[in-house]
Each structure stands twice: as structure tokens, then as C-alpha cells.
Amino acid sequence: MKILTIVGARPQFIKAATVSRVISKSTTCSEVMVHTGQHFDANMSDVFFQELDIPEPAYNLGVGGGTHGQNTGRMLEAIETVMLKERPDVTLVYGDTDSTLAGALAAAKIHVPVVHVEAGLRSFNKRMPEEINRQLTDHISSLLLTPNNVAVENLAKEGIAGPRVRNVGDVMYDAALFFGEKAERTSRILERLDLASKGFVLATVHRQENTDDVKRLGTILDGFARMARPVVLPLHPRTKQRIASFGLQVPGNVQIVEPLGYIDMVMLEKHASLVATDSGGVQKEAYFHGVPCLTLRDETEWVELVQLGWNTLLSPGAGDFLDKVGVLPAPGVPGASPYGNGNAADLVIDAIVDAFR
């Protein structure tokens, strides 16, 4: 069975790494990897292919750097061309980026079944480009593979249920287990940045609602100043660009570093005393590694982590943000396992083979 995988952005490389490893050992499935080019910098793309042993993409479409409409449109056209040539049995898309939507749309229109990994997530905030991408992708997918029960319930409320929905668990949990152990053995990032284990905050900021609003981005930086310990900020290219163009000051306790490879990132997550982020993936990774997380957003898709006490939502738009941001949240309830058993990637391939053989 020929699987055409579409990736394009950093979190998709990490998700695809787990499933590609399973496909490479499979006797029934083969994979053609297509990179849309949405993320193209060496430290946002190449490093993941090298570190995580992801197969070299058979196609790199070189579409990136445009607006959402430009990117999605150009990807759609280029992906369709690849699909008409490759004639895959299924298309595999991950998450919620413009690459996800373009891949799903191109496939569905030419009747190639779409498999969506990380289906069913919802923020219920349609101002987020990711929410549009994931809703539309879910509604044109043939097989919807969810990371948790909340996602299954979200899909059921939209009339998507039955055998085409399978709760396989979260492939990012597989990655955290597999690469977490490797990070402890091989990463030297704590020494390189001169950080003491549990003596720093790890922060990431890249969501459009935070980066494109000067007031919110400024408030987040002011918040970091209140954290009374070093804050390590691997800086996303969009955030870097906005800080410069808005002329914002970075507080003295914030150590800015270039975007990190996944192994170093995991090492910092494991040894941080707190994670402060607006990333979807990083919220869960904090939980996987037993670190409290402050989510710098108005809402989250990963509501179970808030219920379990591992995630505290704090909106940078809220009047009391600066009063609350310095308070270190306590760890949540240990032992819950909302994201499966760390074998989600195997279950993804089992589900694809079952559904389309």
C-alpha cells in the first residue's frame, strides 16, 4: 500500500518521525514523503530530518513565506501534480497547518482517501488559522485518527462517528518517550546555556494571535520579567521578526536562542521548572515530562490537561496577566494517561491497513 505523506511544518516532522519509523519496518506499506516547504530554515526543518531519522522527502515543493492564502493555493496545485503522478492508495496528513489542509483538499478532490492524524482537536476559536485547517480537514477525511477521547467527542458533536474514527493515542507521546531517553544521553544543551536543572523557565511564543498583536507580545515579554528566574526562549522566526519590527525590549532575564532541534528541546523541557508557551505540542510535552505548564492563550485544545491540573491557562489579554504570571503553578495529578500507551504510531498503521487493504 502506497502512503503519500504530506509534511511542511516543524510539529509535523516530529509526528511523522514516529509513523515513518513504523512504515519503514512494515512489509505491507511504503511511503512517499512530500515536504511542502512551509518551514524552510535549516533549524526549523533540516535539523529534524537529520536528528529524527525521517526519510529524505521525495518531493520538496518549495512553497513557503507567503500569506495563508498564497501558501495554501500554491501547495494545493503542486500537491495535486505529485498525486496524479504517484497515484497513492492513501494520503496521510498531520495536525492543523496550511500543509495539512492543502494535502487533504488536493487528495479528496481526486478521490484519494485522506487519513488525518490528530483529528478532532478544537479550540472553538475560528480566528485561529489552525482551527479552520483542522475543521475542514476532518470533514473531508476518510479515516480520522484521534489522540484522545475529547477529540472523539468533538467529532461526534459534528456528526463524524463510527468506524472511520479511531482513537489511536498521540504520536507525540511516542516521540517524547523515544527521544526523551536519547536526549538525556546525548544533549549538552544545559551545559551550553549554563542552566541548572529545575532552575529556569522554558518559553515558546509563535501563535499569530500573540505575535501579531503588539500589546499582547509586549505583555508576554513583560510577564517573563516577572518570573524571577532565567527564561530560555528559543525564538520562532515570526516572533523574532515581530519583536524587531515593533521595537519591543527583551527583559534582561530572558535568554534568547535560535530555534532548537528536538533533542535539545526535549532536554530543556525535562529540566525546566516551568514551561510557558502558546504551542500546542509543547503544552503536552510539559505534561509528558511531568513539568507544570502555563499556557499563554485564551483557550486550549488540550482541555484535559487543564482538568488534571498540569496546565494553567493565562491569557496575555487579561487585565490580571502580570499579577498572575509570576506565580509558579503546582504540579497536577500524576498517573493519568489521556494520550494512549506510547504505541500510537503502530496503531496509525494498523488502522490504515485495516481500513484500506
- With binding defined as CB under 6 A, does residue 201 bind ligand UDP? no
Q: Interaction with ligand UDP in 283-302: which residues (CB under 6 A)?
A: 285
The pairs formed by 249-257 with CB atoms below 8 angstroms and a separation of 24 or more are 249/221, 250/221, 251/221, 251/222, 251/224, 251/225, 252/225, 253/224, 253/225, 253/227, 253/228, 253/229, 254/203, 254/221, 254/224, 254/225, 254/230, 255/193, 255/230, 255/231, 257/193, 257/232, 257/233
Instruction: Give the residue with the Cβ less far from ligand UDP, 88 or 281.
Output: 281
- With binding defined as CB under 6 A, does residue 64 bind ligand UDP? no
- With binding defined as CB under 6 A, does residue 275 bind ligand UDP? no
Hey, what's the cell of 116? 488525518
Instruction: Specify whether 111 is catalytic.
Output: no
- With binding defined as CB under 6 A, does residue 272 bind ligand UDP? no
Q: Nearest approach, Cβ of 235 to ligand UDP (angstroms)?
A: 8
Binding-site size for ligand UDP (CB under 6 A) equals 15
- With binding defined as CB under 6 A, does residue 210 bind ligand UDP? no
| 3-state secondary structure (DSSP) of residue 149 | helix
Tell me which stretch binds ligand UDP (CB under 6 A): 7-15, 28-36, 71-79, 225-233: 7-15
- With binding defined as CB under 6 A, does residue 33 bind ligand UDP? no
Identify the residue among 204, 211, 219, 239 touching ligand UDP (CB under 6 A). Answer: 204
The closest of 126, 130, 93 to 108, measured between CA atoms, is 93
Residue 94 and residue 308: Cα distance in Å, rounded? Answer: 26
- With binding defined as CB under 6 A, does residue 281 bind ligand UDP? yes
Residue 238 and residue 44: Cα distance in Å, rounded? Answer: 12
Q: With residue 45 as reference, give the H or E element that holds it.
A: none
Per the CB < 8 A criterion, the answer to whether 124 and 148 are in contact is: no
Identify the residue among 5, 279, 300, 312 touching ligand UDP (CB under 6 A). Answer: 279
Which amino acid, one-letter code, is at 154? Answer: N
- With binding defined as CB under 6 A, does residue 282 bind ligand UDP? yes
Out of 116, 206, 236, 271, the active site residue is: 206
- With binding defined as CB under 6 A, does residue 57 bind ligand UDP? no
* Helix axis angle, 262-271 to 280-288, nearest 10°: 60
Identify the residue among 113, 259, 332, 338 touching ligand UDP (CB under 6 A). Answer: 259
Instruction: Give the residue with the Cβ less far from ligand UDP, 1 or 313.
Output: 313
Q: Interaction with ligand UDP in 117-146: which residues (CB under 6 A)?
A: none
The closest of 127, 66, 131 to 101, measured between CA atoms, is 131
Tell me which stretch binds ligand UDP (CB under 6 A): 79-87, 139-147, 259-267, 317-325: 259-267
Q: Which residues pair with 59 in a beta bridge?
A: 34
Residue 262 and residue 17: Cα distance in Å, rounded? Answer: 11
Q: Nearest approach, Cβ of 212 to ligand UDP (angstroms)?
A: 15
Q: Where along the sequence are the contacts to ligand UDP (CB under 6 A)?
A: 10-11, 14, 204, 206, 234, 259-260, 262, 265, 279-282, 285
